[in-house]
Structure 1
Amino acid sequence: MGITRRGRYDLDRLWRKVEESHLLGMNGPEDLTRIASVIMDGLGVATADEAWAVLVGDFRAGRRGTRRSGERAGTTIRMGAYLGHVGRLSDERARLELCIEAIRFGPRDPALHVRLLGLAYAHDLHIGATEPSRLEAELALIDRVRETVAPDSPEWRQLRTIRGGVRLHLGVLGGEDDFDAAVEELADFAGADEIDAEARAAQRGALAILRTHQAVRTADEASLAIQADELAAVLDALSPENRSRLRFEAAREHALTSARLIRDRKGLPVAPDVRPWLPIGEVLRQVRLLPLDARPVALCETGMARMHRAMAEEDTDVALEAVSLVEDGLALLGPDALGWVTYTFQLGWGLRWIAREGRADRYAASLLDRSVHWLSRAIEAVGGPEDPHWADISMETAWAMRLRAMCEPAVSNRAGLDAARRTGADALYAAVRTVFLQSGTDHAAWSAYSFGNHALGVARWCLADAVPADAVRTLDAGRGLALHAATVRTTVPEMLRAAGRPDLAAEWHEAEAHAGAPASAPGAGLPTGPLGTGPSSRLRRKVLAALENLPDWERLWDVPTPDNVGAALRGMGRTALVYLLPGVDDEAGAAVIVAPGGGVTSLRLPGLGVDVVEAAERRVGGGRSRDVRDVLAQAARDMGGPSVEEGVGGALARLCGWAGRVVMGPLLQAVGAAEGRVPSLVLVPMGALGAVPWHAARLPSGRYACQEAEISYMPSARLLCEVAGRRPTGVRRAVVVGDPTGDLEHAGAEARAIHRTFYPEGTLLGTATATPATVAGRVARQGGGVLHLACHGTVEAGRRHSSYLKLSGGRLPAEELTEGASRLRDLELVVLAACRTNVSGHGYDEAYSLSTAFLVAGARSVVGSLWPVPDDATSLLMYMTHHYLNREGLPPGSALRRAQLWMLYPGRQAPPGMPKEMVARVGRIKADDLIGWAGFTHLGW
């Protein structure tokens, strides 16, 4: 029983009145409203939320834990389903509370339990209803009910759909593994036989929308074309009056436009879009035919799809019409709706684009004011950096603020420029949280993909505003985020124990221990990500909450200061850390130079422009896949270089000439030589500049850069500082692997010679013996030292395993080095005498390669390659690297440089002890053949 303003009411009697009203017919939204009115009248209240508050309040005031309380909870849930159709129910937590009571203490009827879960979940979701902790509790309750339901029954399939919906919302909160798992669960149910054809088509359409999101995330234009065709088929199956038509039409528009943009970015042919625009008046007419509750989303979705297409076609007039549709939809939707953040974000982005691209400059300031307004509202809705969308929205806000400040006279816009820089930097720092939340490297790299370009943009602002020190921190904030997340990951258990959460530390260890295990392996039920990629995003979210306020945790999110970088440079004996920034539009490229004392200077490089960089990026598909030989050849040709017939060697020579003239010549002159020694530079090339072998740049003097300086590479200052803190182990033994697949003759001879000459007490593994497990086991038993791998290397861009070494009977993927708990720690040096081992399969600015993965896994130095290398020349270069390392005691970077100089010298001589077979090839190496030596790079100490 309960008390209302009218006095007492009987819950069971009220429910019977609801059931009687239900028998009068259920043909549309108006019938739901009629039944909700029966409930409100029976309780003597005016609104649905007031009715819900009375029902929930009386339930909470009554006795709990009885069959009667379970029955009352179930009845209240069913009433809430009607009330939720006519108004927002503010006490969303009550739904889960009621479900738990009904399932634990009410009738033991699995079918009823499934219906109650469906009613509790299928309400008008809003931002506050998607708290991760509540969604996790819903999943736990669903799994409990699932244990009582017969597999393959209608209730089982319905439960999978409910569970998929909850996981989908967890995915929206930043866990792409949850999103992908949810799509598969929902796909299992789509097209169930017990629903009518139109409902089945609508399910297929909803699934196509989700798969479109996945395809956009992974830049898969082929999948987008498939989803566009699927949505066309869905539209053919729907009746003209179906309320979902506009939504599916907008989704198809979005898929087609996205596929077109991706093909354009990859340099693939793009057919002109000849489809006519639906007149805006017809769009509005169709919207007015929809029920009131369907109009806001229809306006927003249609407006966003039109906006994206208009932007692709550079049509600002249509884009302005699209903006008006979205604004009209938002006026009807309300700021607590679940789609509010997405729509306001897209609206702010569209307004900024129109202001930048439109020809009416006098309107730009007004458009940018509107852009900042909507983006600020989106930021307010998501709350703070703990929300995974905060970084993207804040970055877009920074761009709009920057453009708005530039509309003002130069004498009065300083405050606006400063605010834009701060907002952009904050967004980049927050991006680390989003990347860390992902369960595997592929998801992490997808999440980090856009932030490299954002970092370049904000860094250019810093240089333009004469604050180069800020440029350093900004550049590093967008670099190698997946690598940084993998580095942070190793410190998590210790911090959890310090925070008083040994339970979470143990859970984390368990998930790490099963990283890499297939889903069917023992322990697959642990909270790991897809295919056992380590801790799932759900576990990571709990860890983030537990460690939120620890000082060490904040330090791990931050980026090094110039003083931190300077200290690392001093410890490693380096002359400078140099970021290379490509130019864009009318802006010149630049070098940002950090000195050992922590001072920062910048060097303008006018020729470092988009004529090379954009050509290379188009060639490699926007940075997601590449064959570096093609990149170099295409870049050289686009500069007016050699023809295709001249070959890769000629193209590489031309590119190295450009690199010396435009970059390395001015840079070496600016840095200067230290007294008594050559400069020692650490380069961090941004964007497509990572494909250029800067150490092989041909200077105006005719000498190569490596003849004037020692040049190493690092993916980021973060990793530089991390590696600088690693102390040598003193182990000199080696594990040497040669020709494990039996098809690299010189690699086998190289390994045998290196083992016999330099590491006779070490381990030699060859064909049939160099399995992944054996290599890892021998390195672990050795306790450090050297690992030399002469074998095949492969890069498969965007795949789960983006790069790997081919060993005997298996692979050693980069992801296994960074995701698993068993890492190859304490190695002094890893030599990857294989093809493309310093090429990233996850985009240039992620710099995630086999070389950088070994650094994250614990190595102090790594030698890797930029392109497929010739077997014979490589074997000589590698032998000589170990010669200088062991016979002359040089550190790895210096040893590689000396070996490359040896290759460059026409009068080179074989050192004593070199095997006769190698000696015979020494004179056949051409000094001007860059392919044979220039592809190898050094990273680390």
Structure 2
Amino acid sequence: QQTYTLVPCIVPGRALIVTPGAEPVALALPGLYRPGSAALDRYLEAAAERSRLLTGPRPGRQAAAACEARWQSALTELCDWAGEAVMAPLLAAVRQMRPDGGEPARPLRVVLVPCGPLGVVPWHAARLPAPPGGPGPRYAVHEAVLSHASSGAQFLAAAARRRLPLAAGPQVLLADPELSLPWAELETATLRATCYPEALRYGEFLTVDGERDAAGTPEDVLAALPGGTVPASLVHLSCHAVAASRPTESALRLAVPPGAPAGAGRLTVAGILDASADQRPGPAGPLVVLSACETDLSGGHHDEALTLATALVAAGAADVVGSRWAVRDGPTSVLTAVLHHHLTDGRLAPPDALRATQLWMLDPHREPPPTLTGPLRAEAARPDLHQLCHWAAFTHQGNPAPGRPISLA
């Protein structure tokens, strides 16, 4: 590999930096945990309150607005703390260790393995000191291509797993089977029109003829995953999801099979792992994009070792894009459309495509790519896409390498 891949394993007060061909380095980070975790504790409390409000009885408008304001304030404080306590010294140390001396034209490539509640932090959104006279806020994503792994073992397995060419098998686009996310229908229909004209249509797909290829049940999605009966090269799921207090119960909310109880429409972490338990992941895997809430988060045990995203990597996906919190429909549809533009038109590997998308959202002079049409193009003009709550939710799990440009044939 031409890249210089690093694996920081974050533990209280230390980051263990592992680099190819060198001895591990333990970097002291005094502000990482106690007595420096007040920002993290406040964020966990605010995030838990927000999740309860979003999943419980519908609150009054004033209560919802106050809760959202507290959460956004806590998120900002968390990202300020994450930059000062961890990412600024960590990236400086990594840059000094790089053979080229940290040439700024080439972003650092870093894989994070956070421990315990540190798995809830959007590390790519850690705020860094701005250079004198520099423009606006500067975040870790400006300096590094950041991926995540649940453990050293999963990192090694994912790094060795090849990416399937996007045209190597069926492409699956799933639109919310519950018919409660209007943007999901628009998002998936736009992706099929602009990026994947032969993709299979699952769920309640927005079409002129009303046709679809499958209802989008858990069985339909499992069949499209590695080891399934119709394994796909791309699986894009635009639906509801929930991060449960018991990590194995975190679930995607899919279509309920005919005659089955309502709970049969949930594809849980346990269901994903059980379906792949008797199979050894192959040497190559698909890209899975989870355009849904809290898909790279555990509701109670915040160690990211067991989320929907990491379960899909364990099941054989090469790359998974998931989210750290409940996201807004419109900005998320814009983000995923731009992500697929960078995957297909820009031929970027998934971690690089996600970074390019997030930098685009942070750019005050952004221009919409061709994948943004109709209402999505109008949504891309909203003035708040640069806010943390919109651009920073999504993370990359899986193969961290840029490799060759992702192939469409």
Class of the TM-score when normalised by the shorter of the 2 chains: 0.7 to 0.9
Give me the whole-angstrom Cα distance separating, in 2, the residues matched to 1:654 and 1:806. 32
Q: Which residue of 2 aligns with 1:851?
A: 309
Q: Which residue of 1 aligns with 2:217?
A: 771
Q: Which residue of 2 aligns with 1:729?
A: 164
Q: CA deviation at 1:596?
A: 1.8
Q: Which residue of 2 aligns with 1:827?
A: 285
Q: CA deviation at 1:627?
A: 3.2
Higher relative helix content: 1
Residue 397 of structure 2 aligns to which amino acid in structure 1? L
Q: Is the 8 A contact 1:730 1:785 kept in 2?
A: yes
Is residue 812 from structure 1 mapped to residue 251 from structure 2 by the alignment? no
Give me the whole-angstrom Cα distance separating, in 2, the residues matched to 1:933 and 1:592. 28
Q: Which residue of 1 aligns with 2:15?
A: 591
Q: Which residue of 2 aligns with 1:704?
A: 139
Query: Deviation per CA, 1:692-751, whole angstroms, max 9, x where unpaired?
Result: 111001101131110111111111111011112223333524101112210001112111
Gap runs ≥5 in structure 2: 53-65, 96-100, 131-136, 205-213, 257-264, 400-409
Q: Is the 8 A contact 1:839 1:847 kept in 2?
A: no
Superposition map of 1:788-799 within 5 A: 788-798=236-246
Q: CA deviation at 1:928?
A: 3.7
Q: Which residue of 2 aligns with 1:72?
A: none
Q: CA deviation at 1:644?
A: 7.1
Q: Is the 8 A contact 1:580 1:591 kept in 2?
A: yes
Q: Which residue of 2 aligns with 1:862?
A: 320
Change (3 A) 1:680 1:858: same
Residue 689 of structure 1 aligns to which amino acid in structure 2? L
Q: Is the 8 A contact 2:195 2:371 kept in 1?
A: no
Residue aligned with 1:858, SS: coil
Residue 896 of structure 1 aligns to which amino acid in structure 2? L
Gap runs ≥5 in structure 1: 1-569, 583-588, 632-642
Q: Which residue of 2 aligns with 1:757?
A: 194
Q: Is the 8 A contact 1:855 1:940 kept in 2?
A: yes
Give me the whole-angstrom Cα distance separating, in 2, the residues matched to 1:818 and 1:841. 18
Q: Is the 8 A contact 1:835 1:865 kept in 2?
A: yes
Q: CA deviation at 1:764?
A: 1.5
Based on CA coordinates, which of the two structures has the bigger radius of gyration? Answer: 1
Q: CA deviation at 1:838?
A: 0.6
Q: Is the 8 A contact 1:787 1:827 kept in 2?
A: no
Is residue 693 from structure 1 mapped to residue 122 from structure 2 by the alignment? yes
Q: Which residue of 2 aligns with 1:896?
A: 354
Q: CA deviation at 1:574?
A: 4.4
Q: Which residue of 1 aligns with 2:34?
A: 610
Is residue 668 from structure 1 mapped to residue 104 from structure 2 by the alignment? no
Q: Which residue of 1 aligns with 2:207?
A: none
Is residue 939 from structure 1 mapped to residue 362 from structure 2 by the alignment? no
Q: CA deviation at 1:787?
A: 0.5
Superposition map of 1:408-557 within 5 A: none
Change (3 A) 1:850 1:833: same
Change (3 A) 1:627 1:831: farther
Give me the whole-angstrom Cα distance separating, in 2, the residues matched to 1:618 and 1:913. 38
Give me the whole-angstrom Cα distance separating, in 1, the residues matched to 2:69 and 2:42. 21
Q: Which residue of 2 aligns with 1:450?
A: none
Q: Which residue of 2 aligns with 1:803?
A: 250
Q: Is the 8 A contact 2:246 2:298 kept in 1?
A: no
Q: Is the 8 A contact 2:250 2:269 kept in 1?
A: yes
Residue 697 of structure 1 aligns to which amino acid in structure 2? A
Residue 245 of structure 2 aligns to which amino acid in structure 1? A
Q: Which residue of 2 aligns with 1:882?
A: 340
Residue aligned with 1:876, SS: helix
Query: Deviation per CA, 1:558-579, whole angstroms, max 9, x where unpaired?
Result: xxxxxxxxxxxx58x3431001
Superposition map of 1:249-398 within 5 A: none
Give me the whole-angstrom Cα distance separating, in 1, the residues matched to 2:149 and 2:24. 18
Give me the whole-angstrom Cα distance separating, in 1, the residues matched to 2:382 and 2:78. 25
Give me the whole-angstrom Cα distance separating, in 1, the residues matched to 2:368 and 2:299. 37
Query: Deviation per CA, 1:305-332, whole angstroms, max 9, x where unpaired?
Result: xxxxxxxxxxxxxxxxxxxxxxxxxxxx
Change (3 A) 1:612 1:628: farther
Is residue 578 from structure 1 mapped to residue 5 from structure 2 by the alignment? no
Residue aligned with 2:26, SS: strand
Give me the whole-angstrom Cα distance separating, in 2, the residues matched to 1:792 and 1:648. 20
Give me the whole-angstrom Cα distance separating, in 1, the residues matched to 2:92 and 2:360. 25
Give me the whole-angstrom Cα distance separating, in 1, the residues matched to 2:178 and 2:51. 26
Query: Deviation per CA, 1:95-139, whole angstroms, max 9, x where unpaired?
Result: xxxxxxxxxxxxxxxxxxxxxxxxxxxxxxxxxxxxxxxxxxxxx
Q: TM-score w.r.t. structure 1 length?
A: 0.35
Residue 48 of structure 2 aligns to which amino acid in structure 1? D
Q: Is the 8 A contact 2:8 2:113 kept in 1?
A: yes
Percentage identity across paired residues of the two chains: 40
Change (3 A) 1:681 1:798: same
Q: Is the 8 A contact 2:11 2:114 kept in 1?
A: yes
Query: Deviation per CA, 1:210-245, whole angstroms, max 9, x where unpaired?
Result: xxxxxxxxxxxxxxxxxxxxxxxxxxxxxxxxxxxx
Change (3 A) 1:662 1:784: same
Q: Is the 8 A contact 2:43 2:71 kept in 1?
A: no
Q: Is the 8 A contact 1:734 1:759 kept in 2?
A: yes
Give me the whole-angstrom Cα distance separating, in 2, the residues matched to 1:619 and 1:922. 28
Give me the whole-angstrom Cα distance separating, in 2, the residues matched to 1:680 and 1:815. 31
Give me the whole-angstrom Cα distance separating, in 2, the residues matched to 1:765 and 1:645. 32
Superposition map of 1:626-641 within 5 A: 627=48
Q: Which residue of 2 aligns with 1:720?
A: 155
Residue aligned with 1:610, SS: coil
Is residue 653 from structure 1 mapped to residue 84 from structure 2 by the alignment? no
Change (3 A) 1:906 1:620: closer
Change (3 A) 1:814 1:735: same
Query: Deviation per CA, 1:855-903, whole angstroms, max 9, x where unpaired?
Result: 0100011101111011111000011111101101100000001001111
Residue aligned with 1:820, SS: helix
Pick 1 or 2: higher relative contact order, CA cutoff 8 A, min separation 6.
2
Give me the whole-angstrom Cα distance separating, in 2, the residues matched to 1:812 and 1:644. 29
Q: Which residue of 2 aligns with 1:309?
A: none
Alignment partner of 2:113 out of 684, 693, 711:
684
Q: Which residue of 2 aligns with 1:742?
A: 179
Q: Which residue of 2 aligns with 1:297?
A: none
Residue aligned with 2:312, SS: helix
Q: Which residue of 1 aligns with 2:24?
A: 600
Q: TM-score w.r.t. structure 2 length?
A: 0.78
Residue aligned with 2:128, SS: coil
Change (3 A) 1:663 1:611: same
Q: Is the 8 A contact 2:297 2:304 kept in 1?
A: no
Change (3 A) 1:929 1:671: same
Residue 175 of structure 2 aligns to which amino acid in structure 1? G
Residue aligned with 2:286, SS: strand
Q: Is the 8 A contact 1:613 1:688 kept in 2?
A: no
Q: Which residue of 2 aligns with 1:130?
A: none
When the two chains are superposed, the root-mean-square deviation of aligned CA atoms in Å is 2.7
Query: Deviation per CA, 1:785-840, whole angstroms, max 9, x where unpaired?
Result: 111101101122127x4201001111111111112347796532111111110112
Q: Is the 8 A contact 2:224 2:232 kept in 1?
A: no
Q: CA deviation at 1:618?
A: 9.3
Residue aligned with 2:138, SS: coil
